[in-house]
Structure 1
Amino acid sequence: MRTNRIRTTALAVTALAAALSLTACGGEDKAMGTKPAGSAETAAPAATSTDSTGNTDNTAQPDAPKAGTPETQTVPAGGKHAGGNGKKPETVPDTKAAASIPACTTTNSTVKVSSVSRPINHLLLTVTNTGSTNCAAYYAPFLRFDGAQAVYPVLDDSKPQAVVTLAPGEEAYAGIALLGEPGQNEPVPSDNVGVIMVDKNNQSKGESTLKLPADTATDGLGFVTYWQSDVENALMF
């Protein structure tokens, strides 16, 4: 069962406390991020997408968080994906990335959410480096559906081997499974999702609120993956 692969760590508690602090005080929240590795062509996102600018498009890793806490990840390259420049994102060892590469944040990147045809009951998050220098997609994105106080579980099995770094214009991806095992919880319709970006220290670097595709529903038992370098890796879980 998918839930057996999602574990909760002390980082999850820290990240959640930070996320709540961000909402209440307007300060920084704690969160985690990771970086994708490898590149491939996969299920193309549907036309429906939302970003942090108010359109249907918006966003931005070391160890993987469990059950609501993200860890390290790598950043994707552009290539055939929107916003790409034909090059693949550079894979940088965690230690080097953590020491020298700034995080992808709400000020130097945008994030959007899109529907996909496969796998079913999944969505795709895409973060694009809109700055003029490289940025790293740390850990996994912290998600809050409809302003929920608890952050969405993070799939530990999706943690990449290295932090992915995005050059200007390049993208990283994270898959969202909306439902857990059939029959466990009744799906509840959701209209919006908050996406919290984090830096190498797992500190929140801002939250973007995105409008979800029509008819989106979650049962609280799904997960979000670490940031990946390509769509195929993000949607393989």
Structure 2
Amino acid sequence: MSARTVRTRLLAASTVALAALALTACDNGKGVRDEGPSASSESSAEPGGSTKAKPAGDNGTTAGGSAGGTAATPTKGSTNGSSGKAGDGKSAGGGTGTGSSRNAACDGADTRTTATEVSRPLNHLLLTVTNTGSKNCDLTGYPIARFGEAQSVPPVAEETHPQAVVTLAPGESGYAGVLLSAGDGSGGNGYTAKTLVIGFAKGATSTPALPAKGVHVDDRLTVTYWQQSLDDALSY
């Protein structure tokens, strides 16, 4: 074997040995290997080689917001179980919170009162109060009726109490019935009254005219509460 052949084989053996050493160095962690991009795409480089993690959820949106960093749109809330826009100032059930004021009470100054005898029921008088003013008024309670020179006023039939206050718009009327005397003549202390004064819950009184012959009253004299309906006024 020639010396040249020996040198060639020694060179080949050396090359194989060096390649093996290089592989060993890479496998035991001492070599340098290109690992590609950083394992965490959520960290950014800081001076000095340290890294700082981005806040959770920082992917171009604000916390609880929409893409692009815009603030979250306020959602519709609810107040006591009823829905409404947040901060719209409305109270539960759709109210505005402003409330409503009561109407002024009707009295003799802004109404006209008439007294009419009716054929049915017997011995009854119908009182009619008409709003002659320009605003609504409430006809509350019952007529405080004083017949002739009587020192007292008749009681009210409690069973005629209406379910709601009688409100009169301009031009509208409310009613009350008056039982003048017992139909079977059983009433006592009867007399003929030719004048009548009607008082209201407050304010001015009214003096409706009675028939020229007057009306006969006795101790059965009773009035009803003011009613919205004429039929209700005469049902007692």
Normalising by the smaller structure, the TM-score range is 0.5 to 0.7
The aligned runs of 1:1-237 (5 Å cut-off) are: 100-180=102-182, 182-198=185-201, 204-213=202-211, 214-237=213-236
Counterpart amino acid of 1:151?
A: V
TM-score, normalised to structure 2, is 0.54
Is the CA contact (8 Å cut-off) linking 2:113 and 2:207 kept in structure 1? no
Is the CA contact (8 Å cut-off) linking 1:147 and 1:194 kept in structure 2? no
1:54-74: per-residue Cα shift (whole Å, max 9, x none)?
xxxxxxxxxxxxxxxxxxxxx
Q: Distance in 1 between matches of 2:115 and 2:172?
A: 16
Q: Give the number of the structure with larger relative contact order, counting CA–CA contacts within 8 Å between residues 6 or more apart.
A: 1
Instruction: State the structure with more CA Rg.
Output: 2
Percent identity of equivalent pairs? 40
| Alignment RMSD (CA, Å) | 1.8
Moved more, 177-186 or 124-133: 177-186
The size of the alignment, in residue pairs, is: 136
How much has 1:215 moved relative to structure 2?
4.3
Segments of structure 1 that go 5 or more residues without pairing to the other structure are: 1-95, 199-203
How much has 1:186 moved relative to structure 2?
4.5
Segments of structure 2 that go 5 or more residues without pairing to the other structure are: 1-98
Counterpart amino acid of 1:206?
A: A
How much has 1:210 moved relative to structure 2?
2.6
How much has 1:133 moved relative to structure 2?
0.6
Is the CA contact (8 Å cut-off) linking 2:181 and 2:187 kept in structure 1? no
Counterpart amino acid of 2:128?
A: T
Counterpart amino acid of 2:176?
A: A
How much has 1:233 moved relative to structure 2?
0.3
In structure 1, the residue matched to 2:42 is none
Counterpart amino acid of 2:225?
A: Y
In structure 2, relative to structure 1, the CA distance for the partners of 1:220 and 1:209 (3 Å cut) is: farther
Counterpart amino acid of 1:185?
A: G
How much has 1:212 moved relative to structure 2?
1.4
- State the SS of the aligned residue for 2:232: helix
